[in-house]
Chains A and B, each alone.
Chain A
Amino acid sequence: QKEVEQNSGPLSVPEGAIASLNCTYSDRGSQSFFWYRQYSGKSPELIMSIYSNGDKEDGRFTAQLNKASQYVSLLIRDSQPSDSATYLCAVKGAGNQFYFGTGTSLTVIP
């Protein structure tokens, strides 16, 4: 299985702060990258996807991709208590397999 690594956390930030989540991957041929959010006891749900180097913004969320460094990140601005969850980085392989990292647990403190 292709390696996808995330900073282990847990990560705690105060409400209103920026949360920064990081991910590295081993397969240099990977083309598509996804961030999923998973609440405790629930299934993963997609937050953002990114395919090109650079930044992609969607509301309070910004995904950043650097293929040369094999690095993906997710920034959450103005963090809210409802953002408290585990964030999973997923990398899509050439055969359309989704490989997931171990996840980073985020807690936003009111």
Chain B
Amino acid sequence: EAGVAQSPRYKIIEKRQSVAFWCNPISGHATLYWYQQILGQGPKLLIQFQNNGVVDDSQLPKDRFSAERLKGVDSTLKIQPAKLEDSAVYLCASSRAGQLNTEAFFGQGTRLTVV
């Protein structure tokens, strides 16, 4: 079974530029999560999708961050414009829907550096 795929692995951009990250979850996983992990901290949930609908985006800075999962499979997270404090690892995770005892599986992450 293929794992969660993310790209790119690394990205360096200047502040005020835009950037996009891509995620393909494990086949059959209806729930997809985007997390931001700043160095030395735990993952912070940015947005959760159930199929192509948003379940929770309460922690997403909507003035600069956006995410979509149009066909209920892969997803894109965008930052525009980027700030220095957006430097972090962006993790995508997926899980089966509707079962409390199912775990989240993580991709390798995208390390973003804003200079």
Contact = CB atoms under 8 A, between A and B. Distances in A.
Nearest to B35: A100
A50 to B, nearest CB: 10
Interface string B77-115: 000000000000001010101101101111111000000
Interface string A96-110: 111111110000000
B33 A98 contact: yes
B45 A88 contact: no
Contact of B106 (A1, A32, A43): A43
Interface residues of A, number: 25
B48 interface: yes
B72 interface: no
B55 interface: yes
- Taking residues whose C-beta sits less than 8 angstroms from the other chain, chain B's interface range is 20 to 34
B56 interface: yes
Given A44-B43, A101-B42, A96 B106 contact: no
B31 interface: yes
Nearest to B97: A96
Given A1-B58, A100-B43, A100-B44, 17 more contacts: A31-B100, A34-B103, A43-B91, A43-B108, A43-B109, A49-B103, A51-B101, A95-B48, A96-B31, A96-B95, A96-B100, A97-B45, A97-B56, A98-B33, A98-B104, A102-B40, A103-B41
